[in-house]
Amino acid sequence: MDTLALIDTTHPLYSNFDALGVPNTKTEQYKNFPIKPILAREYSYNTESNLTPNAGTNLVMHNGMLLEYPEEIDIKFNEEFHTDKEHFDSLYFMSHMLSTTVITLKVHKDCSFEIQHTLCEQDSLTAYRIALEVDENIHVEVFESFQTDKSSQAFTLYGLDVHVSNNSTLRWIRNENRADKETEVVGSHKFNVAKQATLVLHSFDFGSASSLHLYKIDLAQYASCNASHLLLSDKDARRGNVVHINHNEAHAKSTQEARSILKDNATGIFDAKILVAHDAKYASASQNSKAILLDEHAHMYAKPQLEIYTDELEASHGSTIGTLDEDALFYLLSRGISMQESRKMLVSAFANTLIDNIPNQEYATKIHKEFENSL
Amino acid sequence: MIDIKNIHVDIGEKSILKGVDLSLEKGKVHVLMGTNGSGKSTLTKAIVGHYDTTVTKGEIFYNNKNIVELSPEQRALEGIFLSFQNPIEIAGVNNAYFLRTALNAKERFDGKKETNAASFLRLMKKHVSQLGMHQDMLIRSLNDGFSGGEKKRNEILQMEVLQPDLILLDEIDSGLDIDALKAVADGINRMRDGERTFLIITHYRRILDYVTPDYVHILQDGQIVKSGGFELVDILESQGYQAIQKDI
């Protein structure tokens, strides 16, 4: 049956979903991502779950089933976790309603761990959510990666509900390097960043698979969010991020930097809105999107937006879309470097800024390598 | 070494070079002078195959081969090097990585063994030290945030590493202080071995106090109007371009 037929209309979140409606091509965040045919496709509904995972070092999800969890972290299943009733995305509510597994992680000390998603289903719908609560005054790093294997006509609807408590820092690195055809991933997420807490969000989307991540990030007083998004897509991929950052209280700070490289017929999406509420005085907000189109039919949809309801703030936004810099390309060619190598060097240079921002060298090296292989 | 025969070059819709004839003798230092807009930079761009230029007529023979149809990278591999008037800044491309990539490309083209990382590092240290550059310029991005002098020294560094046969220096002396000018001139003189050919474009004689030219050519309104020796520089310095009469 199709996805919509699976929804329980008596679910407590149904009214929130219904108020936003089923997304279609007119829905702002899905204008360039074909959600309607994905939802209309016939799937088998994957309801398998595993309540006896192994303790290990990482969180390993296999088709939505938890196989391993980091033993240093408190973990619970299907526990009530705060749901954001104000989320802008109806698929956020849909994923909550359809998720057979909700994993709740509670982190009480400084740590670093990985979340590994393996998707290898065919003609199936997999829905699950991960909730993470970071305790006060700690630093946490999460490296999230995706692996697909013989997956086709599959739809993974997952999401994160994250709370970063006062004075804590969460660095979240999402590395989604997927080239599989007809396997879509939609992640609809909520990050709540409490007083004087920091969220550092890095997203890396490489390959020809289609996926869309939608983030709602709420900032409290003196909270900050530094988000960077690197996209490298080819073939017929539609990839990108929809990010709403809300400055709800005074002195919050946010920066967003998106860099996209599109090849073949790929479409990149960067739809970002920073909202500064009336009481969120002394905010600092900046957005920047740069895209390079390497082929004639590549397309970038960039929409950086600021919605401001206070006078006392610093804010800026900008967007550029172009091809490789001809002067830079010629400079390299004039030293005998081949056209192919020169283009590769310039594309890497464009991307390196965002990869080099990852302090963990092991992860930075891994992403560098995957980026080079995807070029 | 290079024979430019009746070359006509357009940039966009504008005709810049209108029949340039110029022969650069192998192993000699040639100087090209001319008023602003006379076509000096366009000539060097046409020789290296810059995308701005369209050769509408004429031929450029380099080592007896017409190179007009060759790609810029092929011309570079054949041994033609242009030091840019305004070297481009490329953030994110490591200077040493760029140089080693270029050197290895040239070595492959010449059928030589590629220089390994350790040998390359030694080579770099030597050249960087000779040019009075900071060693950290190698780990910085290519020309990114470099001062004018640092950029020009970096052009000379590339020249010394790549060891080209035909060297075109487009206003290599502009914006340099005395120390930088001497360092750049020393680099040129180190490369001057009686085999390599130089074409130095300049507006002033001060670099020629350090690099003695064999020939001086004057370009005006897209044509070479006079060729001679160092005496032409003296005439220009004292009387200006009006004193130059076109050779018939």
**pLDDT tier for residue A348 given thresholds of 50, 70 and 90:** very high
State mean pLDDT over A290-297.
96
Q: Report the gap between the CA of B88 and the closest CA in chain A (Å).
A: 6
In this predicted structure, what is the pLDDT of residue B36?
92
Q: Report the gap between the CA of B85 and the closest CA in chain A (Å).
A: 12
What b/e sequence results for A338-357 when a residue is b if at least 16 CB atoms lie within 10 Å of its CB, and e otherwise? beebbbbbbbbbbbbbbbee
Residue B19 lies in a domain: yes
What is the DSSP secondary structure assignment for residue A120, as one 8-state letter?
-
In this predicted structure, what is the pLDDT of residue A47?
74
For the ranges A2-6, A272-276, B74-78, the lowest mean pLDDT is seen at A2-6
**pLDDT tier for residue B40 given thresholds of 50, 70 and 90:** very high
Q: Structural domain of residue A265, as residue ranges? A: 4-323
Number of structural domains (chain A) is: 2
In this predicted structure, what is the pLDDT of residue B248?
47
Residue B225 lies in a domain: yes
Looking at the fold, whether A199 and A291 belong to one and the same domain comes out as yes
Percent of chain B's residues with pLDDT above 70:
98
ipTM above 0.90, yes or no: yes
Looking at the fold, whether A170 and A139 belong to one and the same domain comes out as yes
Check CB contact of B162 with chain A, cutoff 8 Å.
yes
Looking at the fold, whether A130 and A170 belong to one and the same domain comes out as yes
CB B152 within 8 A of CB B175: yes
Taking CA atoms, B78 is separated from A241, B105, B159, in Å, by 46, 11, 14
Check CB contact of B72 with chain A, cutoff 8 Å.
yes
**pLDDT tier for residue A72 given thresholds of 50, 70 and 90:** confident
B247: pLDDT strictly greater than 60: no
Phi-psi region of B75 (alpha: psi -120 to 50; beta: other; left: phi over 0): alpha
Q: Do B101 and A349 touch (CB under 8 A)?
A: no
**Tokens 């526990």 correspond to what residue?**
A79
Looking at the fold, whether A123 and A238 belong to one and the same domain comes out as yes
Strand pairing class (A313-322; A299-308): unpaired
In this predicted structure, what is the pLDDT of residue A121?
73
In this predicted structure, what is the pLDDT of residue A1?
64
**pLDDT tier for residue B244 given thresholds of 50, 70 and 90:** confident
Residue pLDDT, tens place only, B157-178 = 999 999 999 999 999 998 888 9
**pLDDT tier for residue B246 given thresholds of 50, 70 and 90:** low
Check CB contact of A339 with chain B, cutoff 8 Å.
yes
Percent of chain A's residues with pLDDT above 70:
97
Looking at the fold, whether A263 and A354 belong to one and the same domain comes out as no
Q: Residue A17 contacts by C-beta under 8 Å, 6 or more apart in sequence?
A: A7, A90, A93, A94, A97
**pLDDT tier for residue A50 given thresholds of 50, 70 and 90:** low
Q: How far from the centroid of its chain's Cα atoms is residue B115's Cα? A: 24
Check CB contact of B88 with chain A, cutoff 8 Å.
yes
A46: pLDDT strictly greater than 80: no
Max intra-chain CA distance, chain A: 68
Q: Report the gap between the CA of B234 and the closest CA in chain A (Å).
A: 34
Distance of alpha carbon A344 from alpha carbon A346, whole angstroms = 5
Percent of chain A's residues with pLDDT above 90:
77
Residue B185 lies in a domain: yes
Q: Which two tokens stand for residue B153?
A: 């020294």
Looking at the fold, whether A313 and A368 belong to one and the same domain comes out as no
Max intra-chain CA distance, chain B: 56
Looking at the fold, whether A318 and A362 belong to one and the same domain comes out as no
A337 vs B50, B73, B84: nearest CB? B73
Q: What average pLDDT does the structure give for chain A?
A: 92
**The residue type at A279:** D
Looking at the fold, whether A330 and A319 belong to one and the same domain comes out as no
Residue B156 sits at φ, ψ, to 5 deg, of -65, -35
**Torsion, CA A69, CA A72, CA A76, CA A77, rounded to 10:** 0
Q: Structural domain of residue B237, as residue ranges? A: 2-243
What is the DSSP secondary structure assignment for residue A17, as one 8-state letter?
H
- Chain A residues whose CB is inside 8 A of the B72 CB are 330, 333-334
State mean pLDDT over A131-140.
96
* Helices vs strands, H then E, count in chain A: 6, 21
Residue pLDDT, tens place only, A172-212 = 999 999 887 767 899 999 999 999 999 999 999 999 989 99
Residue B122 sits at φ, ψ, to 5 deg, of -65, -45
- Chain B residues whose CB is inside 8 A of the A331 CB are 84, 87-88, 90
Distance of alpha carbon A152 from alpha carbon A182, whole angstroms = 5
Distance of alpha carbon B230 from alpha carbon A82, whole angstroms = 84
What is the DSSP secondary structure assignment for residue A152, as one 8-state letter?
B
Looking at the fold, whether A137 and A163 belong to one and the same domain comes out as yes
State mean pLDDT over A319-341.
97
Residue B248 lies in a domain: no
Give the chain B residue nearest A336 (alpha carbons): B73
- Chain B residues whose CB is inside 8 A of the A350 CB are 92
> Which three-class secondary structure state does DSSP give residue B85?
coil
B51 vs A330, A337, A346: nearest CB? A330
In this predicted structure, what is the pLDDT of residue A63?
86
For the ranges A68-82, B31-45, B88-102, the lowest mean pLDDT is seen at A68-82
Give the chain A residue nearest B78 (alpha carbons): A336
Check CB contact of B151 with chain A, cutoff 8 Å.
no
Q: Which two tokens stand for residue B189?
A: 């003189």
Report the CATH number that the domain containing residue B167 is assigned in CATH. Answer: 3.40.50.300
**pLDDT tier for residue A51 given thresholds of 50, 70 and 90:** low
**pLDDT tier for residue A151 given thresholds of 50, 70 and 90:** low
Number of structural domains (chain B) is: 1
Q: Residue A341 contacts by C-beta under 8 Å, 6 or more apart in sequence?
A: A332, B101, B105
Residue pLDDT, tens place only, B190-212 = 999 999 999 999 999 899 999 99
State mean pLDDT over A299-318.
94
Looking at the fold, whether A303 and A344 belong to one and the same domain comes out as no
Q: Report the gap between the CA of A32 and the closest CA in chain B (Å).
A: 30
Distance of alpha carbon B248 from alpha carbon A287, whole angstroms = 63
The residue of B48, B78, B89, B98 whose CB has the most chain A CBs within 10 angstroms, and thus the best one to mutate to test that interface, is B98
Residue B137 sits at φ, ψ, to 5 deg, of -65, -20
Looking at the fold, whether A252 and A366 belong to one and the same domain comes out as no
**Tokens 């790093």 correspond to what residue?**
A141
In this predicted structure, what is the pLDDT of residue A302?
95
B37: pLDDT strictly greater than 50: yes
Neighbours of B117 (CB within 10 A): 9
Q: Which two tokens stand for residue B174?
A: 């502009």
Distance of alpha carbon B16 from alpha carbon B72, whole angstroms = 20
Output the DSSP codes for A233-284: E-TT-EEEEEEEEEE-STT-EEEEEEEEEE-TT-EEEEEEEEEE-TT-TTEE
Distance of alpha carbon A112 from alpha carbon A119, whole angstroms = 23
Distance of alpha carbon B50 from alpha carbon B70, whole angstroms = 11
In this predicted structure, what is the pLDDT of residue A186?
95
Looking at the fold, whether A315 and A368 belong to one and the same domain comes out as no
